[in-house]
Amino acid sequence: MGLGGCIILIAVGAILTFATDWDMQGVNLDLVGIILMVVGLIGVSTFSSIARRRRVVVPPSTPVVEEERRTTRRDGYGI
């Protein structure tokens, strides 16, 4: 389940909990809505922690070598 599925679970749970007043015998829709919201929040936190682990900075594949250049003459007279 991706991030979109988790957000849909939260939205459906909020609708069932706060926006409906249906009465079903043997089913408490308020409790079902709260359970859906909690599962959606757990999914969002799990998804974000996995996405945070994937953001790893990879060092460059070739090492950077810095050279110091000397500008001296062959006849012994330096600049």
Query: Phi, psi (5° rounding) for residue 27?
Result: -130, 125
Task: Give the model's pLDDT for residue 8.
Answer: 95
pTM above 0.95, yes or no: no
CA 75 to chain centre: 63
pLDDT reading at 58 higher than 90: no
Mean pLDDT estimate for the chain = 82
